[in-house]
Amino acid sequence: MIPVTKPYLPSREKLDRYLDGIYERQRLTNKGPLVQELTRRLEDYLGVRNLLLVSNGTLALQIAYRALGVTGRAVGERAEAITTPFSFIATASSLKWEGIEPVFADIDPGTWCLDPAQVGPAVTSSTRAIVPVHVFGNACDVEVLDDIAQRNGLKVIYDGAHAFGVAYKGASLLARGDATTLSFHATKLFHTLEGGAIVFKDEEHLERAKRLINFGITGPETIEGLGINAKMNEFQAAMGLCVLDEMAVNLQARAAIWQAYESALQGRCQLQLRNPNASNNYAYAPVLLSSETDVGITMAALREVGVYPRRYFYPSLDSVDYFGTEAHNRHSNDVARRIICLPIYVGLTDRDVAKIVSVVERVAA
């Protein structure tokens, strides 16, 4: 069976050495030495400052909203955030969970990222933030989005769950906005089993977030405010350190697969229009087919030969009942109906890729 992805598993020998150290120290959590080491190494590898490790990518979003004061400022006050309907559910559900109403603006039909032209008209007196997504690691139009936010006094929290290691104009894409969140889920390009991180623009927001992820505790007998438990543990950090050591191998394999798909399918399927100012981390291999009918035919044909692609992201979030929105974002709904992600992971062979391409080509012909 060929799934859409497989978790990258690094050297067992190296991981065992980290685990031996955990057993010797008997310190499992609460900002242990491996969490501290991973924080330093990720800041260096990614070229960022003010990085905070957390227990998962959804909590990364929730902590970022709170650290930046995006939630309602008074009892009964409505807080809104403009975001994309073409994303994983956590982008919008994390807002709703924090009492912030997601307001969906449509995507660009080529890049599949939030369309800045749709953001401005969606701003109201209740808008607190813009939450764009670097979809499949494709950089948003960050200059325009940041400008809209500054002109309207809004915070920008980028969902960078797919954007690990992406550079924009020679610097880290993760340094844009007031904060960028990352997911280190097992299926991500870089992972810590479960986990995530937040990169803050300002150190004061980092310090506030540090308190938030540890119940508001600042000392043995001091609690300075409301908080929650969102800390990363030492076992997660151990996995992350091992995966980070082998990123070159991971990226090289993914790049070869991605480029094989692009070479074979360019002109047969619509591929994502990549931001020319940003690098590609080859985290996903999405293709847009001509119709939803073709999606069904292609997926069925691939399953017949033991290949299991996924529909990322379906349905468009503006159609999810509990958001209670009547908005219909035309481009997001259209792309969501016609897109599939093809398998891409270390260990996928040239023969596997050729088999996948032949099926997609046959349906797209």
| Tens place of pLDDT per residue across the chain (365 aa) | 999 999 999 999 999 999 999 999 999 999 999 999 999 999 999 999 999 999 999 999 999 999 999 986 555 688 999 999 999 999 999 999 999 999 999 999 999 999 999 999 999 999 999 999 999 999 999 999 999 999 999 999 999 999 999 999 999 999 999 999 999 999 999 999 999 999 999 999 999 999 999 999 888 889 888 999 999 999 999 999 999 999 999 999 999 999 999 999 999 999 999 999 999 999 999 999 999 999 999 999 999 999 999 999 999 999 999 998 877 899 999 999 999 999 999 999 999 999 999 999 988 77
Q: Are residues 56 and 161 in the same domain?
A: yes
Answer yes or no: do 115 and 252 share one domain: no
- Is the distance from CB of 244 to CB of 43 less than 8 angstroms? no
Q: What amino acid is encoded at 249 in this protein?
A: V
Kindly list the distances between the CA atom of residue 78 and the CA atoms of 58, 72, 74, in Å, as whole numbers in the listed order.
22, 6, 9
Per-residue tokens: 304: 């017949």
What 3-state class would DSSP assign to 221? coil
Q: Of the residues 217, 244, 271, which one is the last residue of a structural domain?
A: 244
Residue ranges in 153-202 assigned as alpha helix (H): none
pLDDT at residue 72, rounded to an integer: 63
Q: Which residue range is the domain that position 336 belongs to?
A: 246-364
Of the residues 210, 244, 278, the one at which a domain ends: 244
Name every residue whose Cβ is closer than 8 Å to that of residue 296 and which is 6 or more positions away in sequence.
none
217 shares its domain with 273? no
Residue 86, φ and ψ in degrees, nearest 5? -105, 85
Do both 187 and 330 map to the same domain?
Answer: no
Give yes or no: residues 220 and 280 share one domain.
Answer: no
Instruction: Quote the pLDDT of residue 39.
Output: 98
pTM for the full predicted model: 0.96
Alpha carbon distance 337, 113 (integer Å): 16
Give me the pLDDT at residue 327, please: 74
